[in-house]
A and B are shown apart, each in its own frame.
Chain A
Amino acid sequence: GEDVEQSLFLSVREGDSSVINCTYTDSSSTYLYWYKQEPGAGLQLLTYIFSNMDMKQDQRLTVLLNKKDKHLSLRIADTQTGDSAIYFCAERDDKIIFGKGTRLHILP
């Protein structure tokens, strides 16, 4: 079945860039998403990318997609304390399948 994998933790110094990586198995994915979840809160859609795109940039966020390797990454430039959260990668064919989430910790 479909599977989405992400590393569980990432620590980054404030002001540096954060790069969160994700791999998926479903070659028929049409869209790939990044969501942010703060403690006790729901999911906030950060950005998404079509499967026929390589890159998408939206302000501090850059998404890179390597469809051949089924690898997706989210880069957050100039990481701030407010970026501390869990980031979920998700792939969509007919359903949306989520990774386990990467907890981003910001060091002062």
Chain B
Amino acid sequence: GAVVSQHPSWVICKSGTSVKIECRSLDFQATTMFWYRQFPKQSLMLMATSNEGSKATYEQGVEKDKFLINHASLTLSTLTVTSAHPEDSSFYICRPDRGGTEAFFGQGTRLTVV
């Protein structure tokens, strides 16, 4: 399957600070990147969709000014959680899409805001 690298795998930050999460597709080019989050014992919820070189499209209820997405190249997308608060603590997962049938996800980043 495709190789997707997400970094960091876990991060603890202080309330009010910003955290950047990177997602790289190592062996394919991703024209579209999907970002999900998963609260404990919940399902994955789509946060936003971004196309390379374009602004991201956010799902209803997701604040675009809080979750900044950059998709500057076909192999790298970043999600920045700005002014993080404890309620932002979650598991964030990326999915770079190369247009095929199979859908591979990053390993996830567990964010804990204290």
- Interface residues of chain A, those whose CB is within 8 Å of chain B, are 31, 33, 35, 40-43, 45, 48, 50, 88, 90, 92, 95-101
Contact = CB atoms under 8 A, between A and B. Distances in A.
A98 B101 CA distance: 16
A95 B49 contact: yes
Given A41-B108, A42-B6, A88-B43, A95 B103 contact: no
A92 B12 CA distance: 33
Contacts, number: 45
A43 B43 contact: no
Interface residues of B, number: 20
B5 to A, nearest CB: 11
10 contacts: A42-B93, A43-B93, A45-B102, A45-B104, A50-B101, A95-B34, A95-B49, A96-B103, A98-B44, A100-B42
